[in-house]
Amino acid sequence: MNKRGTMLYPEEDSRYIEFTPEQLQALADLYRAGQSTHKLAKRYGISPTTVGRRLAAMGVELRPLRGNRIATDQVLETARRMRQDGLAWRAVVKATGVRDQSIMAAMRRQRARAMQGE
C-alpha cells in the first residue's frame, strides 16, 4: 500500500494519521465483522471516505452504501442467537455494532425470501 493520505502535504498537516499494519488489520477485521465506515471513521479520527480508501487498498471488498445491507449473514446469526437467549436489542446492537432497525429489516427480508422459496 502506498503512503497516500488525505492531505496534499501530509508532512505539514498534523491531521495526517499514519497507521501501523496492526491498526490496518484491525480496521479491516472490524469492517468485515459489520462495523460501518462511519463508525470506524469516528473511532480512528478519519473520514469515512478515508476508511473506504484504506480498506480498498488492502483488498477488502466494500459493502454497498445502504444502511440495511451492513447486517451480514454473520451479524444476523449472532443477533438471532442473542435474541433467542433473551438478550435485549440494546445488547445485540452493542455486540454487533449494527443498528437494531438494520438487523430487523434484514431479518424480515430473509424471512420473505424464505417464504417465497417454499
* Number of neighbours of residue 110 by Cβ within 10 angstroms: 14
- Which of the four pLDDT bands, split at 50, 70 and 90, describes residue 97? confident
* 62-81 pLDDT, tens digit each: 887 654 456 788 889 999 99
Mean pLDDT of the chain: 81
pLDDT exceeds cutoff 90 at 95:
no
Q: What's the pTM? A: 0.46
Class of domain 10-57: mainly alpha
